[in-house]
Amino acid sequence: MKKLYIIKAGTTFASALERLGDFEDWVQRALGELGVPVEVIDVVAGEPLPAPLECGGVIVTGSHAMVTDNLAWSLATELWIPKLLDSRVPFLGICYGHQLLGRAMGGVVGYHPLGREIGTVELSLTSAVAGDLLFKGIPDHFLAHTVHAQSVLQLPPGALSLAWSAHDQHHAYRIGQSAWGVQFHPEYTAAVMQLYILAQSETLKREGREVDGLLLKVSETPFASKVLSNFAALVRQYITL
């Protein structure tokens, strides 16, 4: 039976691991009862990527690395992504994964000219989202957790923009009918978002950001989380075809 593969592109702060778990744990919790096998591939540790024919779905997690660092594991994953799209495997890139998908398919990734986006922010859907299965049941405006310095500055050719924030015009996009990138973090809980703000508090203060204000605005984001349960439904459908 094909599996859903979670491509682990890094790990969280040590202060979070024991209490909250790691990237792949948050993703699996938000996916809910998937009903199909799940395997985590730690590409940073050198674990090999699966063949597209073995994949019932793929999620690439966030990372504390930068896409433009051009690390060996990242470049190998970037070269692998177009093969998945050619096979129409359901694909979801989250934050780093969103950026890696963008660059793999011909977009431009780099540091955002407005600097870091962090905290619970309002996102708006575009008109292109009509009928999109990943955003099924999600209202035109919803809250989502964000933490990123780099962005997809230019979408790949043919990509459809699906969501934006006041900071970032490319918060979500789709390529074809089976590949999505989301800059926001559908897997984050309010506790995870608060931890990320606190862990970067000194940097944020140096940037002139009001840390207490950011913390006060943190809330749960059930509609953003729905992206992952919707993706789980897509994977189940793909595997049973």
Residue 3, Cβ neighbours under 10 Å: how many? Answer: 18
187 is catalytic: yes
Q: Is the dihedral of CA 45, 50, 51, 52 positive or negative?
A: negative
Work out the angle between the directed axes of helices 72-86 and 96-104 (0-180°, nearest 10).
70
Query: Of these residues, 98, 145, 171, 185, which one is catalytic?
Result: 185
CA-to-CA distance for 58 and 93, rounded, in angstroms?
8
CA-to-CA distance for 198 and 212, rounded, in angstroms?
9
Q: Is 236 helix (H, G, I), strand (E, B) or coil?
A: helix
Q: Tokens 């809910």 belong to which residue?
A: 32
55 is catalytic: no
For residue 205, the surrounding DSSP H or E stretch is: helix 201-206
CA-to-CA distance for 119 and 168, rounded, in angstroms?
13
Q: Is 26 helix (H, G, I), strand (E, B) or coil?
A: helix
For residue 102, the surrounding DSSP H or E stretch is: helix 96-104
The DSSP 8-state label assigned to residue 34 in this structure reads -
Q: Nearest CA to 181 among 155, 150, 142? A: 155
Query: Of these residues, 55, 95, 145, 171, which one is catalytic?
Result: 95
39 is catalytic: no
Mention every residue, 6+ apart, whose C-beta is less than 8 A from residue 196.
13, 118, 147, 188
Return the active site residues.
Answer: 95, 185, 187
